[in-house]
Amino acid sequence: MTAPAAGSTGAVAAPRVVVTVGTDHHPFDRLIEWINECLGQHPERSAACFVQAGTATVTPVCPASRFLDTEKLGALLDGADVIVSHGGPGSISSAWARGHVPIVVPRLRRLGEHVDDHQVDFCVKFAELGRIRLAQTPAAFAEFLDEAARDRRGFRATGLEGDVSATVERFAALIDELVARPPRRPLLVHRARRMRARPQTDNVIPAAIGSLPPGLNPAVSTNWHATGSPACASLPGTANEEQE
């Protein structure tokens, strides 16, 4: 049996899929698991898929690397038919710059994938604008990959306005600034005001701060620094595009 002649009808080649999880230090095992599940159903697509897996503890079942320098990652993205990324603004704008509507899986705080859920909020807005294909379940993710295998035109875009990329850059800069700030603590004057607000008599000694009722204990915000460590680990030689 001979191979189909050039130009004849034959099997459609698997799309070249490039997956990137960015440079954030939080493992994004969930996305790698979803990729592995899809490739398990379609092993013929494995050779055409490449995963930049970051610190994930799950091993991709296709060609992969933990981190890549900017030039190597850029070359892979240039040759991709479909780009899959986490919800980092840097990764998304890299896809846009190449005329792609990427499949995006935002990181979730409750699963330890990020310090908060800003990626979800960010991605929902751009999904409504048709700028990304938002996958928040394994079924939706698999459906997008199947659609891309049938017809890749739904994952390509032209004429993306420059102000959209500028918006992403401003958003990324804001996240950088917020993550870099030290945790805020209540000022002593605020504590003093709270103490004075409690009814007292001349014979009553104000309770220590630690023994106040729960509603009066000063709260320290941990939204951005739950562990006190930087939210993004900068790695020498890597594409430090996220700072998510």
Q: Where are the domains of the chain?
A: 17-178
Q: What pTM did the predictor assign?
A: 0.67
For the segment 105-114, the average pLDDT, to the nearest whole number, is 95
Which architecture, in CATH terms, is 17-178? 3-Layer(aba) Sandwich (3.40)
Q: How confident is the model at residue 122 (pLDDT cuts 50, 70, 90)?
A: confident
Q: Is the CB of residue 172 less than 8 Å from the CB of residue 90?
A: yes
219's CB contacts (< 8 A; 6+ apart) are 186
For the segment 229-235, the average pLDDT, to the nearest whole number, is 34
* pLDDT computed for residue 208 by the predictor: 36
What 8-state DSSP symbol labels residue 156? Answer: B
Q: What is the pLDDT of residues 207-227, one digit of tens each?
A: 333 333 343 333 333 232 233
Separation CA 110–CA 241 (nearest Å):
23
What 8-state DSSP symbol labels residue 86? Answer: E
Q: How many alpha carbons lie under 13 Å from residue 175 in its C-beta half-sphere?
A: 26
* pLDDT computed for residue 149 by the predictor: 94
Q: What is the pLDDT of residues 21-39, one digit of tens each?
A: 999 999 999 999 999 999 9
The residue behind tokens 């739950």 is 226
Closest C-alpha to 199, from 219, 185, 216: 216
* pLDDT computed for residue 14 by the predictor: 80
For the segment 63-71, the average pLDDT, to the nearest whole number, is 95
Check whether 240 has a pLDDT greater than 50.
no
